[in-house]
Structures are given as structure tokens and as C-alpha cells.
Chains A and B, each alone.
Chain A
Amino acid sequence: MKTTHTKMHDTPFVIAGKSFSNRFLLGTGKFKNKIDLAESILASETEIVTVALRRIDLERHEENILEYIPSNVTLLTNTSGARTAKEAIRIARLAKESGYGNWVKIEVINDSKYLLPDNNETIAATEVLAAEGFVVLPYMYPDLYAARALVKAGAASIMPLGSLIGSNQGLKAKEFIKILIQEIKDVPIIVDAGIGSPSQAAQAMEMGADAVLVNTAVATAGDPATLAKSFSMAVAAGRLAYLSKLPQQKDIATASSPLTGFLYE
């Protein structure tokens, strides 16, 4: 028997002209130790990781996290801690000064209970930083008008939340992310926040998201590296399913076996 199926060739995942072969992004916060982080990066083969910027501890000389991140991995500095566009811009400029690249994840949060992103401030920060030459990936509440404004402001990608940060609730915002996937074609969509299990990550990819970012679920797992690998595989599997033109869900049954040629006919 001859089969004609050839290997599915995916289009590259491109952000601001840079190509990536892995669509799983890893956040580096909350890991119990830096070895777990290093192993998770290797096991998942992620090519983009997020980091944050904080004051150095004047009393303790700690090892820097960058020592645990391979140099071929793209660093995406988040602006966590920023409550306004102005603060996010300041953090981004500081990060750029370090010489570790100009990729920034804009994260502007005012609410300490739900940690929801402030889309208006995020748009304002995106506009300024994109004009300064930063590659801007804004973390956002999945709102179509905000997404369009971010693209217009020069965002290189948009990062809608799946659910609340660190909640492991999965794709609570699924229907709204679907709208963004349908309508925003100019930049990749990376589902960020709240993704708690590989099946949830796969679901986001099946829907047509371009990539998924996970932090808390991996960092707080009993075996972070194994879960990181599992997430990476789930993202790849979800992507393949999307490329296969997954059939739509139906409300009634359709038989899988032929409905003719029954023995009693």
C-alpha cells in the first residue's frame, strides 16, 4: 500500500522578523530553585522566556537568573510592578540599558486581587516603546478594540489572558480569544496567563492561537521539567491539530460506520 501523506510543514512562528520553531514560551518566576528552571528550559526546548526587573538585594549577593538561561534563548523582559504606562516605559528603558535586548512584555496592573491588565495604559506604553524601537508584546485583557489599538500602536504580538494570572483556570476567556484570532491577522497571538495544564494549552493552539506562555503551572509542579516538556508537546500537538483543519463540534451524532449494508437488510 502506498500512502501519499507527507509531513505537515508549518509556517514559522515569527515575531518582529525573528523566526522560532517552538511555540511554547516559559515564564521564569516562582521556581523553587534555578536548577529546576534551567532543566525546564532545556526539557521544553523553549526559545523565548520572560524575566522581570527588580532592585538588587543590598544585603545578599545572589546569583543572577541570566546565568541559568542559555544565550540562544530570547529574553522577554516584563514590566511587572508597573501600575501606569509611565512606570512600564521606565522599566523597559532600564531593561534595554542592560544590553540584553529590547524585547519587552508590557504588563500594567493596578488591581492586586485579580491582577487584570489595564488595557488603556498598556496601549499608551506600547505606542511610546514601539516608536523607540522596542519589540513590544503587550499582555492584555482580550478585548477586540484594545487589540486593534495595540496593533496600531506598533505591538509585535498581542498576549491575551486565558484566565487570571497564576489561577490555573485555563481558557476562561476562550470565546473572546477566538474573536481576536479571527480578527487580528497582522501579529501573532500568544495566549498568556492562567494556563494550568497541557490540555488547556493544546486547546488554545487548536483554536488557532500562535503560541502559549506558561509560568505558574510549570514552576509550581512537583517535577517542573517534565511538565514543561509536556506543555511543549501539547502546544505542538495543538498546533498540528489546528493545521489539520480540525472538524467543528456538532450538537447531534453522526455515525462513524457506514449506514448501509447491514446484515439484516
Chain B
Amino acid sequence: MKITINGQSKELNDRSSLHEIITQFSKDCSRVIAEVNGEIVKSPVWPSTTIKDGDTIELVTFVGGG
């Protein structure tokens, strides 16, 4: 399936969970915040959140800032 993560188009396995996707792209999941199609998805439900073809995911974290 084809999804968009942080503005980039990615080809991923069908029926991947949000948790599987986040662990693939982040070393430290505890500091990642996720949005799927514009809605915040809380970390306890990442494993049960199935990502579908065409979904848009935003993964953000804290960085230095003033």
C-alpha cells in the first residue's frame, strides 16, 4: 500500500499497524507523537490502529527551539 508519512510517499506492507510503522522510522518511540489523517492517535492504541492505503501520517517529536 502507498501512504504519506511526513510529506513523503512510502510503499509499505498492507495492513501494517501504526506501531509497526513508527518503530520502523524512529529509534525512540516514547517521544514520538502521531497524527493519522489529521487526528492525534494516542500511543496505547498504536498497535491496534491499522493503516490503510492512502492514509496520511504525521510523526513529530521535540527538537531544539527558542
Contact = CB atoms under 8 A, between A and B. Distances in A.
B10 to A, nearest CB: 8
Interface residues of B, number: 24
Given A94-B40, A97-B33, A30 B63 contact: no
- By secondary structure, the B interface counts as strand
Given A95-B33, A97-B40, A97-B42, A52 B7 contact: no
Nearest to A94: B33
26 contacts: A27-B66, A30-B66, A31-B64, A51-B62, A52-B62, A52-B65, A53-B62, A53-B65, A56-B25, A56-B59, A56-B61, A58-B25, A61-B27, A64-B31, A64-B62, A65-B63, A65-B64, A75-B62, A77-B62, A78-B66, A80-B65, A94-B33, A94-B40, A94-B60, A98-B33, A219-B64
Interface in B12-66: 25-28, 31-33, 35, 40, 42, 58-66
A93 interface: yes
Nearest to B24: A58
Contacts of B10: 58
A29 B64 CA distance: 4
Interface of B: 5-8, 10, 25-28, 31-33, 35, 40, 42, 58-66
A216 B65 CA distance: 10
A56 B64 contact: no
A46 interface: no
Nearest to A69: B62
A113 interface: no
A54 interface: yes
A105 B40 CA distance: 20
B22 to A, nearest CB: 9
Most buried by A among B10, B25, B42: B25
A102 interface: no
A213 to B, nearest CB: 8
B31 A66 contact: yes
